Structure 1
Amino acid sequence: MEKFMLKAHELQAQGFTQKQIAEQLGKTDRTIRTWLKQMPRKRKTPVRKSLLDEYKPFVEALVRENPEINGANIFKKLKKMGFKGQSSIVREFITKIRKEEAQKATIRFETEPARQAQVDWIEFGRQYVNGRIQKLYAFVMVMGFSRMPFVSFTTSMNSATLLNCHIKAVRFFGGIPEEILYDNMKTAWVYDGEHWQTNHQLARFAYHYGFIPKRCKIHRPETKGKVERFNKYFENSFFVDYDNRNLNLPQLNEDALAWIKTIAENKLSQFNQSRNERFNLEKQYLKKIPSSDFDVRDSIPLIVNRESCITYRTNKYSVPPVFIGKTITGKPFLDVEKLELFDADGVSIRIIYCAPAGSRKSFISVEDQEAILKAWEKGLKRDAFKRQSKKSLKFSNPDYVAIRNPVFYEQFLAGGL
């Protein structure tokens, strides 16, 4: 009967009347009317089992958490778990989940080219870096339109490091976006009890480079989801091969940039374009980088002792004796072990190469040594003169004969000799 019912529906769809269908099928009009009022049952399609079935919840959880996760890494994990199938069925399932996520992403906050970049830190815990155990971080900036990323590994997240990484990022991109989005990191925002205010140093930096600092709004479409998704992708696809290894920071950064060049050619599932294709459009609208860099270095007050030396990270370095007893300013470079010294007027005195912290060594330059000896001699003569003046002694020493001259006397007391 079901066969006749299906045929009746087919004939009706072709335009036959109820009477004509009854004649063709040899049934009464009443029977045909009853059949046409009923929906035919759908044929059951046999469900084929897949080798991936028992692993699908695991794969789906990984992809939904991070749609850009590396499929090859997922396949490796499945093989370790006992999966016997081919990589092709894994790729097909990942693609299906990514398309579903891409459809959901239509509600995500999208930006036009060069409108916004998003910044974040990744923390990798304590790692063996540059010969010793220390905390490792990665600064990440992602362009909102193209998803083009920049990564720089560091061993600090302080303000100077943050801003220095910004300079590296805008050089990498070749320009500056209209605004940069941050979370509530202290080096970006300060809460005064009522309002969030831009960190003073970041505000000055942003003014110099001509962008607007923006604070992301939690649980809103304008969050920094683009950089956060990239962070997960970066950890799972790049750093997983470096974790708990003996790391060299400069080499690690070179490897990261080389990896970025590789992934920039891959198609983004939600756009069917690569990062490079989208960035080639975006970079045309970026602002020009200023001709001079903003000085992001920290300012450290340093007192010049009686030996005409300053102490920095347990090591002593000589300066011209004219600064004895005064406070000068030191600004450490971020990428090299050097320290620039400035006088009270902000004029650069010199740049010194720094010994490793904790060495407890002294470094006296030849020119400073000669000047310091002369200053000591003058100081000894000055002290001797003062002592003799107090005792009202006669100046029998030939070295002090000239002191009888009043003009010479004033210069002597003023320290001009």
Structure 2
Amino acid sequence: MKRNQTTQLNLELNMAKIQGIKPNFTQLAKKYSVDRHTVARYYREGGKAIITRDRPSYLNPYLDEIEEMMSTIHPTKKAAFEYFQNKYGEDVFRSYSTFTHLLKEKQIDGRLTVSTPHPRFETPPGKQLQVDWVEDLSMELKNGEIIEYNLFSATWSYSRLHCFVYTKTKTTEDFIRCLLEVLYQSSGAPKEILTDNMSAVVSVRGSRKTKHKQIENFEKDTGIKIRLCQVRSPQTKGKCESANRYVQWLQPYQKKLETEEDLLKQIHQLNTQINRETNQTTGVPPVVLFKKEKEHLDPLPSNAMLESYLHNISVQTVPSTLLVRYKGNGYSVNQKFIGKRVKLVPVHDKLYIYYNTQLIASHKISCSPFNYRKDDYLEALKVRIPSKEDDEINRIVQDNLKIFGSWSEEE
């Protein structure tokens, strides 16, 4: 409470005492934002002065940066706090309440959060997976390049375990590919999948909704029912909608990331973080509660059957050359994936290479027979010829990459 407010409260208390009127402590407490017992105590003690100390916040050194972010990017308070905590450490940004108090005191963010009430309902473990698109997202890199992308968002209804899958497009093939990534990662299948009337799943003509033939075949082959929620009723799949709000935590990274792969790493970090945080409804981190839910999942159908749905996707084992093949040309991945099965997903003029749900490499599709990323080649050579000095290995890398580049030019 400010000093002028303290003085005003004392005046009201003294005036009431002079007039022989017992003041309404609750009303005064609300008026001056103090506890009613505090008001009563100062009434009894004759208006004893309330001592306040105007101590500067330990976050003041970061105030300019906080103000700039909140005024230009407009993230949520929680998203901004998570960004600064990741950047400067939990020993500096250690209290979310202190952070929000600073925003309120400096009038940096005056937005109100409005919630529409709706009744909750729970589903038994292993029964339901809620899925949705978080669409038309963009991230501006440091060099000014704009990355446009979507996220396939999936949430296990019982445990609230959440999974984001990065995708550039939202076709029926993308829907099935992303869904399979989630099922592979979870090592099991639900009884049903709940989604909205997305164009990747249904075609809508007037009031008539028809599932695509490929979706119907997927249901028959896997035994998983894909159920559609009511139109304009996001509460029906509210657990997925709630998790989607975490995507706002990526906003503070605008103009902070170097490459598309940095964005993918940040999405993976976000995904891990929200699954480890205690869920407000269950009181348990999703990653812990999923251990119980996993016991109730149905076994996955055979890999051969599932992968038959990935028409334009190639599944390959990474050879010792580090190069997986697409249209006769080789594209590198890190040497730690040698012997692992990876998926090659071409989108427009780029090739994305996944290991499970993790994007491990992206290449511009080219006519060169050998497309090595410098870091992939460098790490492999350090393992292959450990006796060489770093400078010599770097020279070998540069010389070989130039040769590979000249082959491409000749073609």
Q: TM-score, normalised by structure 2?
A: 0.49
Q: TM-score, normalised by structure 1?
A: 0.48
